[in-house]
Structure 1
Amino acid sequence: MKQDELADTLEDELIYTSQLKSDLEKKYQCVFEGIAKQADSTLLNKIYTDLYITQGGGEQVNTEHEIRQIEVAYRRLESPDIQINFKDLFKPHEQTQNIRTVLTKGVAGIGKSVSVQKFVLDWAEGKENQEISFIFPLPFREMNLKEKAEVSLKDLLCEFFPEIKGLDLTRKNKKVLFILDGLDECRLPLKFDGNEIWSDITSPAPLDVLLTNLIKGNLLPHAYIWITTRPAAAGKIPPECIDRVTEVRGFNDEQKEEYFRKRFTDQNMADTIIDHVKKSKSLFIMCHIPVFCWISATVLQNILEKKSKDQTDDTQESNTDDTPRTLTQMYTHFFRFQIQQSRRKYDGEYSPDISWDMDSIYSLGKLAFEQLEKSNLIFYESDLVDCGIDVTKASVYSGMCTQIFKQDTGIILGTVYCFVHLSIQEFIAALYAHLFLDKNKKNVFVQELMEPEAQNETLTGLLKTAVDKALESDNGHLDLFLRFLLGLSLESNRPLLQGLFSQEESIKQNNTEIVEYIKQKFEDSLCPERSINLFYCLNELNDQTLVQEIQKHLSEGSLSSSDLSPAQWSALAFVLLTSDEELEEFELQKFKKSDECLIRLLPVVKSSKQALLNDCNLTDKSCSALARVLSSDNSLEELNISNNNLQDSGVKLLCAGLKNIKCELKKLSVSKCDLTEESCSALAAVLSSDSSSLKDLDMSRNNLRMMESSVFLKD
């Protein structure tokens, strides 16, 4: 290319860049919390709070319910993982190759999309990453609308960003970044192995072919790719296509307070709200998620403003405790408030007395329940029509169901719907299960059955079915739904929903029966995570009896000599996990020296930095359980299992966890465990693996000869 032609090209590119920055700045400078588009917008730079982001997280897929991940993760926020700023996503560390593709994981509502918004805004305003010439944000939820189309990459970009029409993207000496936001919402198959190789950006191809080749580097190999996703969908991208994995862990305790202080100009109100959420452990843990901070702020601001104006005329409000302390109470307040806001904004009506649009709420609940069963978090007009929702009126519920109208891209791609957060979808799905029972006298889980017994279902029957289905789940996908379903059965939570149900049933009797039913479930061989969730369920039902029994044992120091029931062991794990004390050290001898006790308390081990399990009569059965802990998200840095009859079989099982990329164990003591050269070889393989963090290994007082010990001295 001649010098004058090159100069003209560069000048044109600067014009394209300037136009793109201007349009992206307008689009991304405001954040809409709640009712999209119609809400009062807030400048993103005014309220944005930095998130806790770490490098790493590995290639494994975490399919555990995200609320459970949150309850575990909040204890890992101060772990020694490598923290990273979003602005430095593509900057390699020392001895690291160039970073082309970054995968960022995080649970729903943790702040991935808002962080993308902030990244793009900082670039558009000229603050960060100015070495990048063009940034193209391409949300999967919007690309789904073109899933059946054949289009060239160039034409696709021009549809989303008409201001770049005429831009030559093939020039190698300019940086281009594609942001593929919301992989978990992708409805494309992403056939990385089956799709044909595609390298021409001007030739049409199925969208799936374009995306897989863009990620693999066949299309625009010099372009940078940033993909965001919820953890369960991370496995859709082959590990060899990813150069860096980061994880958004949400707000730590200081950032939670910072959010509320930025959210409110009235610092007295901010202080009051912060004090309230701190009083409830479950609420404070949930504030780890930015979206839950917004829900809490919305509800508590509304309550405080009503109190300050002394407006207590609404008997429905005044007859109930107006300071929510459980998740069900918080979400019930939120649901009621959003319905009131909808009437005020769209009908021009406001009254402290709620007026329910029964048909619309029922249809919205059906949508939430059916899509939850399919694990869908986004839906399109056809999904709404199938559930009987009038799409022309759907915006009335956009405080809970967000609409994205792509009217500023040059074309109208269509409308995408989703609940603001998965937990809101789960709450409304649980509400629908109650409404379905009230309306049809049938269990929503067996609604297709025509037998007479299915026609006269009781509330107790519904709750028991839900408990059983939640416990059958491998990943706990119904855990939070179950909490809400049980909480909504509580008599004290019904006044806020008065008028929704045709009749009030004998709730007191039903709750007594379901509490006993849940307690009986502890006698089964439940995995520790399901047991922990049952205690959160009992908390929603205001039953603390098992927890109080364990707290009495703890205060008396009698646990090591007590024969606890399975339910009491689970209660002990729950008490330790929800205590305000830091779980620095877990010492099994304080409780019971057995495999069974260790396995019952695995969630506590998982959240502790140091586990002292020495001299506890453990066998290889415990090693298998510990390997599962080390292979999952955990806080363990030191593990002492000395003076136990582990033998080589146990150490081999343990090594499966030690080799896992999620294992960050630095110190391991297996002294006096009846080990031989087989254990030496297995542990040597761990030490030589690239993923191992192990620095200190104690194998003293085992059946080892010098020759066998020398295995560890080899390069």
Structure 2
Amino acid sequence: MGNYAIVFKSLSFQGLNRCSITEKQCVILTSALKSNPSHLRELDLSWNKLENTGVKHLCDVLKDLHCKLERLSLRGCYMTEEGCSALTSALNSNPSHLRELNLSWNNLGDSGVKNLSDLLMNLQFKLEELDLIYCRITEEQCVILTSALKSNPSHLRELHLSGNKLGDSGVKHLCDVLKDSHCKLERLSLSSCDMTDEGCSVLTSALKSNLSHLRELNLSWNKLGDSGVKNLSDLLMNPQFKLEKLDLSYCSITEKQSVILTKALKSNPSHLRELNLSRNELGNTGVKHLCDVLKDSHCKLERLSLQNCGITDVSPLTQSLTNSKVLQFLKELELRENMIGDSKQLCDILRDSNCVLRID
């Protein structure tokens, strides 16, 4: 234990993810941390089988008033609602320092979500990033969670809820947070949340009412539909909406919908840095319209992903890269899993640039 204490005295960060740490080993580790908690600022114990017992021992460190931990990651630690409740209780007793909390890939359950929500309502708890990816959060639990976020929205900058079955109902409740003028969220991930065009339309409407902060939006693996794409496009056209990263992969976007979307991007192209449209059936027509965005002198796109988009002809793409300034900025072009014929000219153009072409 003494050796642990010496190590932790000199470190402000300790990454121990995927170290096969068991419950028993976690007891030894947390005893060392408890003996000298004041220096540690970041602790990553992700993907270790701590279970509730290990998490409870960690709580003895967290509720120590000398503990000033700012970032805590417990992804995939086999935690259930019992462990989550103990964790949130510990953080509630010493709430002022933590800024990032990652509980992804744990089954929090009803009481876990309820206790986490109570913590989020604490005005002394000034969390900036919350990761709850694949936590089996239901629509009903989302209502409780978003009610808590609504009561204390001003600090949060990143919210990741991907892989939870929120549905349109859960997304609608989240929108009450997003349209609050005190909300300053910069990154929002709602990938694979069972959202349809109804939820997407409500979401974009909420963002329209408070649009100056968001920089990254991930809606991948949701079926946005015609009205969802249309309303998202209206949002993208707003010059006050300064989105830098947009992920719409696996959204069942058609050629027709892609035309609407790319017209919107063309009207406000200067902020976007990353665009992922992979695994949508854009086809040659959709890509041709996207090329109008690339040819715009204001376009500063750095990463473009078009994997498995039904592309057979890259000549419009080649021409747009030849006749624009976009290669000054473009660093990565993803075209894998398309039945592309002759790509020699495209390869020749990119050979002397800083852009990596992924085509094989």
With normalisation by structure 2, the TM-score equals 0.39
With normalisation by structure 1, the TM-score equals 0.21
Relative contact order (alpha carbons < 8 A, sep ≥ 6): 1 or 2 greater?
1
